[in-house]
Structure 1
Amino acid sequence: MKRILLLILTCFVFLTGCMQDNTRIINKIKNNYDKSIGYETEAEISINTDSKESQYRVKEKHIKGDKSKLEFIKPNTSKGITIEYEKDKIFLNHASIKQSISLRTIKKLDKGILLEEFFEDMQSIRGINKEKIGNREYYVINYTSKSRNKYNKEKIIYLEKRALKPYMMKVIDKNNNTRATIRYKKFKYIK
């Protein structure tokens, strides 16, 4: 009986320690993000469908207060297209054909590929692990997306352990396949 009680107590202490460590890491990320007014980055996006893989390069910029902008750099057929999110509005601009569309009063915007969703909704974090890739250490953060559907069941974010900057995000579907991989280049917090 004493052994069982000791085993239960040991498991409880271990689980409590892990939860406290995760809470500490989440607080570090929140504090780092809270010191900024937003972020900007370049992202290489690889989207996998059942029949093909598509590659994109975009510039992403987010300013707190619900304002984000995506500008397509590659492929050339998409170059110059911008998507701007401002509260409940979307503005689509296509520079090469000089046309723009604005959509207003959208009840729910799907910002699933934007980092903004992660930074603004950290209570959806389900677990944090550590992983070394090359000579760098990363926090590997699993979280459930607000914009969850059959193609977007959960996301895995890799954050540089020291700078707390995103390195990569994977979008996982309901069958646990990677539907999209986003690699972040030149990420910086806007102060």
Structure 2
Amino acid sequence: MNPNDFIDELGDAYYCVGRPVLEGKVIALLLLASEPQSLGELASRLGVSKAALLKVVRPMVERGDLKRWREPSSRAHRLGLTDQAYIHDLRVHVLNSRRVLAATRKMLRKKGLEEGVRAQLTRHAEVVEKAVQSLEAVVRSVEEEQSRDLEEHLERDWDALPPPKGRGRNPKLKLT
């Protein structure tokens, strides 16, 4: 597979799980780069504006999928993947699977279900529960590692996170 096909494939795969195509492409590009990339480098490679890319990158940084490093003696930031850039999607899958499991168990408590329906619901609940438990164990260990890694990163690069809203340099005061 060539790099462009890889980038397109990850973009499509991320789209299929409800994420922006551009997010999948950013992850693919960063997987193919040995060093963190600037926003400009990523935008140029993907053929999009930095503003469009920033709309996708900012939530990824806030979620912990990406890290930002500030370039010494410049305002430029470099972006790189955390070791667990996929963990948010897995957590969402776990939470939704737990919802399915809860709904299935609620149906099983209903009186008067046909035996075939009850057996089918029981089997479904067993499979979903095993899958959730296995995935939860993986997600928990990765999240703990990610939390430690992020804490260390922020201790070293305390100015790497963007302000919560807007540019944050000079917030406009509302005078009433």
Flag whether TM exceeds 0.5 (same fold): no
Whichever of the two has the greater Rg, that structure is 2
Return the TM-score normalized by structure 2.
Answer: 0.22
Query: Structure 1 length as normaliser, TM-score?
Result: 0.21
